[in-house]
Amino acid sequence: MRRAGRLSWGLVVLGALSAARAAGLPEVAPGWARLGEDRQPAERVEACQQLARVGGAEAVPGLRRFLGDPVIGLQARHALEVIPDPAAGAALRAAVMETTGEVRLGVVASLGRRGEVAAVPALIRLLRGTAGSIDPPSRELAAACAFALGAIPDAGAVEALREAWNGVARAEVADALLRQAHARLDSGQTEAAAADFAWLRSRVRDAGGRVAAERGLLRAAAGSDDHTRWLEALVSADPERRAAAAGLNGEWPRMEAAALADRMRQLRPEEQAARVTEWARGDPPPPAGLLRELAESPHAGLRWVALAALGRSGDATDIERLLARAAGAGAEAEAARLALTEIRDPRADEALAGFSRGAEQAIRREALRALGQRGGAVAAAALGRAARDPVESIRNTAWRGLSASGGDADVAALVRWVADPRGPAEGAAAARVLVAILERLAPESVPAELAAAWSAGSVAERASLAPVIAALPLAPVRVWLREAVGAADPRLREAARRALAGSGDPGLLEDQLALALGGEEEDLREAATRAGLRNAATAAGRGRRSWFLGILARAPLTLPQKRSLLAELGRGSSADDLDLAERFLADAECWSEAVAAVVGLAPRLPDAAVASAALELVLRSGLDAEQERAAEAARRGLRPRP
Amino acid sequence: MTSPAQRPPPAPAAARRAFLRHSAAAAGAALAFPRFVPAAVLGRGGATPPSERITLGFLGVGTQGGGHLFGGAWTYVPGGFLGREDVQVLAVCDVRRARRKDAARRVEEHYAGRSGRARYRGCAAEVDFRAVLARPEIDAVLIATPAHWHATMSVMAASAGKDIYCEKPTAVTLQESRAVRDAVRRHARVYQAGTQQRSEYGGRFRLACELIRSGRLGRLREVYCHRDGGAIAWSSQPAGPARPVPADFDWDLYLGPAPLLPYDGNTGPHRFDVGELNWGQHHSDVIQWALDADETGPVEAFLEDGRSALRYASGVVVHGRPHPDETVGGSGGACFVGTEGRIAVDRESLVSSPVRLVREPLRPGEVRLRRNRGHVEEFLDCVRSRGRTSCHEDVAHHSASALLLGGVARQLGRAVRWDSRAETFPDDDGARRLMSLATRPPWRI
């Protein structure tokens, strides 16, 4: 028997090889030759997979023969499923009545995925249990048949599924009918689809099923201009209808804004919030009148959504309302601030500028903050004026606003402000703003006004401008700064050293290292260490990070310097970082910080085993409860991140 | 704080490595706990009443699922779902007995503590997820199983009337991805993909997308995605010698739709992955968002030096590799290059060249994208309101498809054209055959 089987398989192979050659498919032939039981399992599976990719009609008989094979049956069936030639479908149709058990379940599913209309009668017989052999037991088989019939667009399939409603596979039949109904809807058979959904809605017993059927009905109605059904469902007293209508905003072709706004008031607050969230993404956005009303809701979530959405819909008349909300705290204030930044009405800037001169300080601050985010000429003027306000908090807000909004046109004025301030505080503030603006603008060359002020400036003016030039990562200013660090004048030298110590220019890393290790004043050494660590960690300085950290770790350091270094090591991710951090575990002065560094970096190490060992050692070293929790959490995280 | 006297001896790297050698064989002992009877009544002391809590089942409670449930080092949900007052976890499911029992015990201990009771029983520990889906009182499931299960479970959960939070990859074939989208739609479910970058990380990804869609880069030309395309390929043989299946492990349920193989000890969540299926969808999701392609997708996938690349209808090319001069982007991000410079974003950083591109605040009239209170919060909000999440079924489908298209090109070793409306490879029978996988009965999708 076995020998006879091999013989017949050999004939099949020979025939197929010649057929493949005739068909000009030389790549198929190796697959054929490797299907037989005399080959290794892996080779047979690969052969099946190859046939699934390139096989045609000539591959079908052989694949069909192995449908029940324990090694390659699954792959053979999938190959028949994906081979587009009708012969593959015919083979599966024939097999569905000849196979049993899981093989048959697979064949049934494959027929569904192929959309084999010709298989519908056989599948119906199996579903009804009228076919000759019902194996596997009817529940599994009926479920598989329902799946397949749901996937094949065919009126007879729908009818058979309806007949099977009271059978053993209700859930699968319901799902299949939903699939059929949606397929009809997608192919433009709106009335038939609506009838299907209505049929289901009248019979389904579970709430989820009714919601699904109702949503289908709403989708079927979406093709018309009459949105009454959807609007009614949205505000229905029936929670299932409401649930069905929810989430459809994005799909609705054109909403009737006024009608929806009217219905919104009948929704629960959380439903209103969801509707507004969806609606605010569309065009046109929700009407401002509705949002203004909802922004007064007692429901916090709804107020948040409505306020945020006012940014797109509102106008200058909303400024006062939003300023009042923004002056508070929490999520609602954030939403109002976002809206203040976003409102497009050109009159909004003037309105904000007006409020920035008002009496109430909280409102003034919010107006200035919004102007800083919005930018533009009106904002620059208002912020510049407020920067010299007698009230410190107003001045600070204005400076921050200028930092965010200042542009190329403001550089000259700020250079003058820095060089010739009304007082030291104003000079320092103006310098900080100018630094922020230059960092943001990142000019490719030294601004002319700054170059002129530096070259022609007095020692006092240069000392004022030192922090500004130290912020520019450009070669010429590095030369100026180094000259100033070595200047004879102690005032300029001191200002330049402090500017160097705080500079964010990775090009000054060597200078900062020298200052960190050799500076006379401790605060300067510590500032240079912190800035150097920041710069070494940036993309521009990253290549020299290991070098910088390595030298620092081996040098005599103050305790604040050690803490800064260990904090940076704790953000690291390499074995070198771990080695350096572990050096400090022996240092009683900063042992806790070293533990924190090891715990911090271990989860990022490429080798989880090394990380685990490091954490194990730390865990066994007498940690306090908080450290132990952190170490345990890190150890739990030693797996691929999500 | 530990006193100096308690401080440990030095632990140089050499000592740690020696420890590593000796601890390699160490393994945790499995704990067995009795089966708990579901009973869901909590809600004292002003807490959310049980009737208003969202009831959850966790399918898979390993690293990912356990992180979601309990919180942990990697998670973005402090305290996990368990720490939320508005959620009640009614069931956990895992093919590892010790893991599911331990998770159920921790859930019950937590609820006992919260309700001030000595004992609480109400979290079932199931081996078969179908037992969780069969419980009508469970509103939603969180799927964090091995990747090859995600889509099958999602479709079955939708059919069972559950809302779904599903880890990435949300599907491992194009056919699966479409099936998930269709099932969620068909059953009117709420779905959130675990591509949390649209919600978390300080809004960094959102701002990057807002800047790009506002035209800060001028005309966007190319994107460096950091990750290659991904796919699943069933193993044709075990990863090692066949071994007896451990008594506390359900190998058949682990494999699920995958072909039956002898047990070989490889029970990882990504044993069948090809390419960068694990992380890829995080990257493709952000790119789809930045390209305003949530309802479409690429039109072509091709290979560049053996790695996949995508082309969009706008002409933008997405390379499946890092930018040669940019380190930012590796953790879930990308580097976007336009005529005015480049913007790179990942979970830790948002940078640009020139730097002004990201430092200039968004001004009135520039693009603002959807904000939410957090990825999980948004999911729970939508379960209540029946609204749509940020990473709803359509978004997830197209993000997954972008990743999987690269996988098809990789598998074929050639370029493929993609019609994102018809969701097929036009005139390309060879590529169409790779849209699905062999699926072991009774599983089907």
pTM for this one? 0.80
Q: Who contacts B162 (Cβ-Cβ below 8 Å, separation ≥6)?
A: B57, B133, B138, B139, B140, B141, B189
Residue B2 has a CB neighbour count (10 Å cut-off) of 15
Q: Is B32 on the interface with A (CB under 8 A)?
A: no
Tens digits of per-residue pLDDT, B193-206?
999 999 999 999 99
pLDDT mean over B229-249:
90
**Model pLDDT, residue B47:** 45
Q: Is B12 on the interface with A (CB under 8 A)?
A: yes
Label residue A479 exposed, middle or buried (CB < 10 Å: 0-12, 13-18, 19+): exposed
**Model pLDDT, residue A539:** 67
The residue among A403 and A623 whose pLDDT is bigger is: A403
C-alpha to C-alpha distance for A127 and A121, rounded to whole angstroms: 10
Confidence of residue B12 (pLDDT cuts 50, 70, 90): very low
Distance set, CA A349 to CA A291, A379, B444 (Å): 21, 7, 59
Label residue A586 exposed, middle or buried (CB < 10 Å: 0-12, 13-18, 19+): middle
Are A621 and B388 a contacting pair at CB < 8 A? no
Are B386 and A242 a contacting pair at CB < 8 A? yes
**Model pLDDT, residue A227:** 74
pLDDT mean over B416-445:
96
**Model pLDDT, residue B10:** 37
Residue of A nearest to B351 (CA): A539
| A162 has pLDDT over 60 | yes
Helix (H, G, I), strand (E, B) or coil at A205: coil
**Model pLDDT, residue A130:** 74
Tens digits of per-residue pLDDT, B389-402?
999 999 999 999 99
| A565 has pLDDT over 90 | yes
Interior angle at CA B167, CA B162 and CA B170, nearest 5 = 85
Confidence of residue A31 (pLDDT cuts 50, 70, 90): low
**Model pLDDT, residue B228:** 94
Look at residues B65, B69, B66 and name the one whose alpha carbon lies nearest to residue B80: B69
C-alpha to C-alpha distance for A17 and A31, rounded to whole angstroms: 10
Q: Say if residues B418 and B313 touch (Cβ distance below 8 Å).
A: no
**Model pLDDT, residue A330:** 85
Are A246 and B182 a contacting pair at CB < 8 A? no
For testing contact with chain B, the best of A149, A275, A402, A440 (most B CBs within 10 A): A440
Are B10 and A585 a contacting pair at CB < 8 A? yes
pLDDT mean over A11-22:
45
**Model pLDDT, residue A421:** 86
C-alpha to C-alpha distance for A280 and A274, rounded to whole angstroms: 10
pLDDT mean over B410-430:
96
Backbone angles phi, psi at A305, to 5 degrees: -65, -45
List, in sequence order, every residue forming a beta bridge with B317; answer none if it has no partner: B222, B311
Q: Is B85 on the interface with A (CB under 8 A)?
A: no
| A290 has pLDDT over 70 | yes
**Chain B residues with CB-CB distance to A182 below 8 A:** 182, 185-186
Residue of A nearest to B359 (CA): A440
Tens digits of per-residue pLDDT, B48-106?
556 679 999 999 999 999 999 999 767 777 789 999 999 999 999 999 999 999 999 99
**Model pLDDT, residue B18:** 42
**What is the distance in angstroms between the CA of the first residue and the CA of the last residue of chain A?**
54
> Which strand (E) or helix (H) includes residue A92?
helix A86-98
Q: Say if residues B362 and B251 touch (Cβ distance below 8 Å).
A: no
| A94 has pLDDT over 70 | yes
- List the single residue in A208, A341, A640 with the smallest CB-CB distance to B161: A208
- List the single residue in B20, B364, B436 with the smallest CB-CB distance to A344: B364
In three-state form (DSSP H/G/I as H, E/B as E, the rest C), the secondary structure along chain B is CCCHHHCCCCCCHHHHHHHHHHHCCCCCCCCCCCCCCCCCCCCCCCCCCHHHCEEEEEECCCHHHHHHHHCCCCCCCCCCHHHCCCEEEEEEECCEHHHHHHHHHHHHHHHHHHHCCCCCCCCEEECCHHHHHCCCCCCEEEECCCHHHHHHHHHHHHHCCCEEEECCCCCCCHHHHHHHHHHHHHCCCCEEECCHHHCCHHHHHHHHHHHHHCCCCCCEEEEECCCCCEEECCCCCCCCCCCCCCCCECHHHHHCCCCCCCCCCCCCCCCCEEECHHHHHHHHHHHHHHCCCCCCCCCEEEEECCEEEEECCCCCEEECCCCCCCCCCCCCCEEEEECCEEEEECCCCEEEECCHHHHCCCCCCCCCCCCCCCHHHHHHHHHHHCCCCCCCHHHHHHHHHHHHHHHHHHHHCCCEECECCCCECCCCHHHHHHHCCCCCCCCCC
Structure tokens at A523: 């605060």
Q: Residues, chain A, total?
A: 642
Tens digits of per-residue pLDDT, B260-305?
999 999 999 999 999 999 999 999 999 999 999 999 999 999 999 9
Average the pLDDT over each of A123-137, A424-438, B28-42 and give the range with the smallest value. B28-42
Backbone angles phi, psi at B419, to 5 degrees: -100, 105
C-alpha to C-alpha distance for A266 and B146, rounded to whole angstroms: 44
| A259 has pLDDT over 90 | no
